Structure 1
Amino acid sequence: MKNRYSIRLLVIAFLSVFAMGICYSCSDDDGEGVKVYEYREQIGRKIKVLTDLQAESQFGLREGMYPETSRTILEDAIAKLKDFLQTIKEAGVAEAQIPEETARLLKESDEKIAEFKATVRTEDLLVPAELEVSGKNGGYIDFGAHPEYSTFGEVGKQAFTVEFWVKLKDVEGFFYLISTFTDDDTNNHERKGWCVNSYNYGGNNMRMTYGMGFNDLMEPAFGFSTVNEWVHLAVVTDETGVDGEMNGGRPVMTKMYMNGELKLSTTSHQDASKPYASNDSNVPMVAFGGMSATGNRISDKGANGSMKHLHIWRAAKTQDEIRRVMEHPENVTGEEDDLVCGWTFAKMALDDQEIKDLTGKYTAKLIGDYKWIELE
């Protein structure tokens, strides 16, 4: 009886050892042993650290953000770790090599994290660029609604200058370059504000449109067909006479310049009872498009092109003054007494929805189809 019990114990012990051996062997073959599992966990935790860092980081041009190109530093590190996990799963690496290879990849990932963090911007980055707007595809610049953009003193004696650089893709059709103008078809076509526009029906023309009186217009124009090159345009308005000039006993209300050269000089097309009408509606000034009296974009008045160094002055500038600003727009600081507003659009904006003007008083935002073209 005693011998039979001893034999039974020996058999149980033997089977237990045998079973452990099988389990151990299977564990090695399947790669699911405790050590392999632990290495997989270490790699998984590191992947989470990398992905969390990428998700929590901000990319852009402002101080504290990271350059867009820095994304690849983390993405490459994540990809290597995932590839190694797949290699382990497919038994593409000897189990004996897993600890060493894991340690190497984790160390390399920590180095990539340090490399990524070292690229954080320590100051805002201003990148020279050209702003291109596709107004015919819904893009435009919204400068906000401010009466200062179209009101320049006493009614009948207003004086102002609008000047800017522009490069148009084409001059087909009728389109607005920059506008505060509205035509209210619900109120007997009440017309307010001003608009620099291109009108090529019956000939290519660069035109200034004014709302006059209640629903009348004045639209002086000169021949214009320049495309795909920068030109400087300036429209000078003074209802008491630009440069003090008179013609036929009437004040010269408008002078238009291209590249500093006088292209047009004219008196008002209306009598004195119909002066220029400022726009006091809550409608934004826009570029490369127009707005209705209700503040909706006019879909068929969009222009395609680029603009830079836009300035609106509450004074009628002389030709010499226009040439100086044209040749050295960088000299406009925003502190000039007669400067209403100004935007350079010569460097990539830090925030396309909040582009401060030179005076710091106004903000523009980019809408729809546009792009910044980085300059070398």
Structure 2
Amino acid sequence: MKNIYSIRLLIIAFLSAFAMSVCYSCSDDDGEGIKVYEYREQIGKKIKVLTDLQAESQFGLREGMYPETSKVILENAIAKLKDFLQTMKEGGVAEMQIPDETARLLKESDEKIAEFKATIRTEDLLVPAELQVNGKNGGYIDFGVHPEYSTFGEAGKQAFTVEFWVKLKDVEGFFYLISTFTDDERNDHERKGWCVNSYNYGGNNMRMTYGMGFNDLMEPAFGFTTVNEWVHLAVVTDETGVDGETSGGRPIMTKMYLNGELKLSTTSHQDASKPYAANSNNVPMVAFTGMSATGSRIEDKGANGSMKHLHIWNGAKTQDEIRQLMEYPEKVTGTESDLVCGWSFAKMALDDQDIKDLTGKYTARLVGDYSWIELE
């Protein structure tokens, strides 16, 4: 009887141990082994590490940022881990293979993290590029509100030079290239400031418009039809006489140059009692569009094209100086005593909303429809 009792105890103990073993291998929720659950948890944590790293990293051209192309390093690592998780859930991996495969993928992920971090920029990246602005679709450059762009000394004796490179996609209609001019179709505000614009009704013309009081303008112009080709434009203004010249007893107020060649030389079209009126309104200087006196963009004055090496000088440049600026625009450093402001727009901006000028005093921002075309 004792032997039978002992055998019964052994059987009970064996069955109890077997039952505990079966329960130990069961998941608390889905029937999978607890080790499988732990591996799934490890992979989930690694996915979060990768995802957080991407979300917390900055991408751009500045020092301390990552190239946009580096995102794919983390994205591929995340995708691999997610694919393996899905395969595990669907039973596509033998349980005995899960530990080694998990270890391999986690190791690869750590290597990808190191690879990603190694791509961080150690200096600002300046990429040669062309800025294309579609002003007819709402794009423009906003240079901010600064009286220095429009005021150049004593009224009636102001002198300044505006020069830049431009490439237009077309010359149709009436459009502004660069402007401090305040226009208002209601004619209930004075029109002030200056504007380089194109007006092709009755012939294609490149014009300089000066505000000279309520509805009074001076608008010298020369013939212009060039498209899809870079040209250098320069407008030199001196109310006391450009290069000291006069005509009919009146000072030559304006000279306009195309690719360094003089295209126009003229006195003021207005009475001497109506000098150039600087823009005192609270509106920005803009390119490829125009602004009303109340600061609203004039939608039908947009231009499509590119601009580079824009400089505004506090004084009247000679033709030789214009040619030097045209041939060697990169020599303008921003330290010149008579340089009001300047932007190269020859390299991709590090921040399209904060493009510092050469002097470091002013900031431009890009608005609406525009694009940077990287140059080889």
**Fold shared, TM-score > 0.5 on shorter chain:** yes
Measured after TM superposition, the shift of residue 213 of structure 1 is 3.6
Could you say which residue in structure 2 is the equivalent of 1:295? 295
Show the 5 A alignment for 1:148-227.
148-184=148-184, 188-227=188-227
Measured after TM superposition, the shift of residue 201 of structure 1 is 1.0
Measured after TM superposition, the shift of residue 147 of structure 1 is 0.7
Q: CA deviation digits over 1:210-258, x for unaligned, max 9?
A: 0114430011111111111110000111111111111111111111111
Query: SS of the residue aligned with 1:162?
Result: strand
Could you say which residue in structure 1 is the equivalent of 2:68? 68
Distance 1:94 1:184 in 2: 76
One-letter code aligned to 1:127: V
Distance 1:372 1:223 in 2: 30
Measured after TM superposition, the shift of residue 56 of structure 1 is 0.6
Distance 1:140 1:314 in 2: 24
2:318 counterpart of 1:318: yes
Cα pair distance change 1:107/1:31, threshold 3 Å: farther
One-letter code aligned to 2:295: G
Measured after TM superposition, the shift of residue 16 of structure 1 is 3.8
Show the 5 A alignment for 1:1-376.
13=13, 16=16, 19-20=19-20, 23=23, 32-184=32-184, 188-376=188-376
Distance 1:272 1:145 in 2: 29
One-letter code aligned to 2:101: E
The answer (yes or no) to whether the contact 2:167–2:228 under 8 Å persists in 1 is yes
Measured after TM superposition, the shift of residue 11 of structure 1 is 6.9
Measured after TM superposition, the shift of residue 90 of structure 1 is 1.3
Distance 1:270 1:301 in 2: 25
The answer (yes or no) to whether the contact 2:189–2:293 under 8 Å persists in 1 is no
Query: SS of the residue aligned with 1:191?
Result: coil
The answer (yes or no) to whether the contact 1:162–1:236 under 8 Å persists in 2 is yes
Root-mean-square deviation (CA, aligned residues, Å) is 2.0
One-letter code aligned to 1:104: R
Identity of paired residues, percent? Answer: 88
Q: CA deviation digits over 1:29-83, x for unaligned, max 9?
A: x771011111111111111111111111000111111110110111111111111
Query: SS of the residue aligned with 2:191?
Result: strand
One-letter code aligned to 1:330: E
The answer (yes or no) to whether the contact 2:59–2:68 under 8 Å persists in 1 is yes
The answer (yes or no) to whether the contact 2:353–2:366 under 8 Å persists in 1 is yes
Distance 2:187 2:87 in 1: 74
Structure 1: 4+ residue segments shifted above 6 A? 1-8, 24-27
Q: Note the residue ranges of structure 1 that are not aligned, 5 or more in a row.
A: none
Query: SS of the residue aligned with 2:39?
Result: helix
Q: Note the residue ranges of structure 2 that are not aligned, 5 or more in a row.
A: none
The answer (yes or no) to whether the contact 1:222–1:263 under 8 Å persists in 2 is yes
Q: CA deviation digits over 1:94-128, x for unaligned, max 9?
A: 11111111111111111111111111111111111
Query: SS of the residue aligned with 1:321?
Result: helix
Distance 1:225 1:69 in 2: 41
Measured after TM superposition, the shift of residue 162 of structure 1 is 0.4
Query: SS of the residue aligned with 1:254?
Result: strand
Measured after TM superposition, the shift of residue 15 of structure 1 is 5.1
Q: CA deviation digits over 1:285-327, x for unaligned, max 9?
A: 0000011101111111111111000000011111110000000
Q: CA deviation digits over 1:255-303, x for unaligned, max 9?
A: 1111111111111101100111111111100000011101111111111
Query: SS of the residue aligned with 1:192?
Result: coil
Measured after TM superposition, the shift of residue 3 of structure 1 is 9.9
Q: TM-score, normalised by structure 2?
A: 0.94
Q: TM-score, normalised by structure 1?
A: 0.94
Distance 2:220 2:67 in 1: 48
Question: Is 183-192 or 284-293 further displaced after alignment?
Answer: 183-192
